Structure 1
Amino acid sequence: MGTSAAYLYSVYNVFFASQAEAADLYFEASAVILTLILMGKYLEIRAKRSTSAAVRSLIALRPTTANKIVGDKIIPVSISDLRLGDYIVVKPGERVPTDGLIEDGESELDESMLTGESLPVHKNTGDQVTGGTINGSGAIFVRATALGESTRLAQIIRLVEGAQASKAPLQKLVDKVAAIFVPVIVLIALATFAGWMVYSGDVTSAVGASVAVLVIACPCALGLATPTALVAGTGAAAKAGILIRDIEALERAHKVDTILFDKTGTLTVGKPVLTDAQAFDRNDDRLLTIAASIQLGSEHPLASALIRAAEERNLKLTRPRSIKAIPGKGLIAELTGQQVSIGNAA
C-alpha cells in the first residue's frame, strides 16, 4: 500500500501537478522499500537453501533398492515395492534399506547418522536395525517392520522440514501486531487526509501528507527481521550438523545455561586416534606393528586409528592371511606363520 500510493502519487505529480507541486516525488522511496524487502526475501531463501541441503543429505541416506528373499532366491527390488513383513538380506558394506528386525545373522552396524557415535554397534538375532545405517562385516537377514514415511529416518526428515515451516511464538506475536498495525496506519492516513483537507482545502497537499504516513510507517523490519533470523539460525545449525526439530526450541535457546551431553559421538569428531601403546615386553613398536598389520584389510574405525598410528611411526606392516572377522568381538588372522587374535574382552 505504501509503495503503490507513493509511486502513483509521484506519477500524478509528474504529469498533472504544477511545477511547484511536482517537486514532491517519492519514486526513490518506493524503490528503496521494495529493494529492502526483496533483499530480505533473498537472504531468507539462501538460508532456507542451506537447511534444505541438510534435509537432502538425510534423504540421500535412504537406499533405493533392497535384496528381497523370495523362496530360495534373492531378488533386487525397489524400496517402494517392499511390504511389511518382507524378508531381506543386507550384505556387508550395504546400507540397511528399511527399519526391521534381525531374524538371522550378526554384524556390526555404523549408526553414526542417528547417534553420532563413530564406533559400530554389535547387532545380533532379535535386534532392531534402522534404515540408512551401514552394515559391517557380516550378512544379516532382516524382517521389515516399518516402511516409507514410518521409518525413523523419514520421521527425522519430517521434523527438520516441519521446523522450517512452523512459526515461532515471536513470529505469531509479530503477525498479531501486524494485524492491528496495518488498519491503524490506514486510519491515521485517512485522518491525515481529512485533516489537511479541512486545514488547507488542497487535495494535492492532503494526498501527499497521507502518502507520507503510509511510506514512513511501512514496517519492513517487522515483517522481515523475525523470519529471516529464524531461518538463518536453522540454516547455520544445519551446516554444523545440528538439526532443530522445533522453532520454539531455537527461540528459547538463549535462556539455556546448562547442557547435558549423553555420549561420545555428540562432542567428538567421530575419528578415533591412538593415544598410547603399552606392551608387556616394553616393545611398543612391535606390538603396534602386529596390531596394525592384522587389521590392514579392516574398515573398523579402531583399525583405521591403529594403521594411521603405525604409518606415523614409519613402521613396516605385513599383510595378514586367513583373516576371519568375528562380529562384535574382533579378528583372527595368520601373521608371519603365527595365529594372532585382536579384539575386545569377549
Structure 2
Amino acid sequence: MHALEFLADNKPFPAVAIVAMYGAERYFRTEVLRRIPGASGEEAELSLTRVAGDQAELKTVMTDLRTVSMFGDRRVLLIEDADPFVSENRAALEKYVAQPAKGSLLILDVKAWKKTERLFKLVEQHGLNIECGELKGVELLRWMQQIAKQEYGKALDRENASLIVAMAGDGLSMLRQEIAKLAALVGDTPTIAREDVIAAVGGWRTETTWVMLDALRDGHPGKALENLQKLFRAGESPAKILGGVVFTFRKFAEATELARQGEKLSVALNRAGVFASSVGAAEAYLKRLGFERASRILALLMEADSEIKGGSRTDPQLLLERLFVRLAGEVVVSDP
C-alpha cells in the first residue's frame, strides 16, 4: 500500500513482525515511523534500535530480534538505507520473514524493492510493504488540499496549491510548513487565497515577480523590465525567474491550443489553470498577441529554458530580456 493509505487508516497498528518502507520520499518514512508503536517519540528510547544498512551484520540483527526486551515491550529494529544489507542477506531474510521472532518488529528502509521478487511477496504475506513514493501532479495537489482542510480547516483550491508548489518546490516537508504558515496567516478566514500565498510563501521577491508578469501580460514591457532588474539586483537566479514566467505563460500556450481545437478562449484559459480573476486580462493578452504569435509561446519558453540552463553563452539577463520582448506583443500606449 502507499504511505498515504497507511497514514489515513485509523485502526491500531497490526501485529506484524516486519515492515518494508520503500521509495524516494523521506517525508513519508518519518510519518510512517510515527504511526508505528515504539518506532518514534518517547517509546523509541526504550524499544528502538537503529542500524545503518552498510554496517548491519546478519548474525547481530537476528540475535537482537530474538532477544526478549528487558522492559517487556516490543523490540523494534530499524535498518536504515538497508539496500546493501538486503542484497547480501536476501535468502536469510526470506527465511526469517516466513518464521519471524515473536515480540520483535523488523523495519527495512530501502530504496529498491521490486514487487516481482520473492522477498517482497513474503513481506506482503506476513507483514507490510509501504510505498513511500514521491507525489507529483494532481496527487500532490490533492494531498496539499487534504492537509489544509483536515489539519487546519482551510479551503485550498487547486490553483493556489499549484502556486505554492511553483514558489516553494515539491518537497512535502516544506509544503506542509508553508500550509501551516498560511493557515496561521489567514486566521479565522476559511479560505487560503492567491494574495495570501504570494504574501506568505514568496515574500517581496514573489510579489515583484507577479507584478512583473502582470505587466508583461498587460502590454507594459517597460514596467516588466524594471521589475526584472529589481530581481537581478536582489540576487534572484535567472532559472528561478524563468520558472515564474513558465508557470504563467505555459497556461496561455495551453489555452491557445485548446482554442485552436474549437474551445471558447475564456473557457480554454479556465481549463488551462489560469486564475479566475485573471481570465479577462489573459484573454485580452492573447487577442492582442494574435493566434500565430500565441502559438509560439511554448516554443519560446522551451528555447529560453534550454539557453539559460547552459545552451547559450549569452548573459542570462539578456536572454530573459529578449524573451520578454518576444512575449510582450503590442505595447499598450498607457504604459506607466
TM, length-normalised to structure 2: 0.20
Q: Hey, which of these two has a bigger chunk of helix by percent? A: 2
Q: Hey, which of these two has a bigger chunk of strand by percent? A: 1
TM, length-normalised to structure 1: 0.19
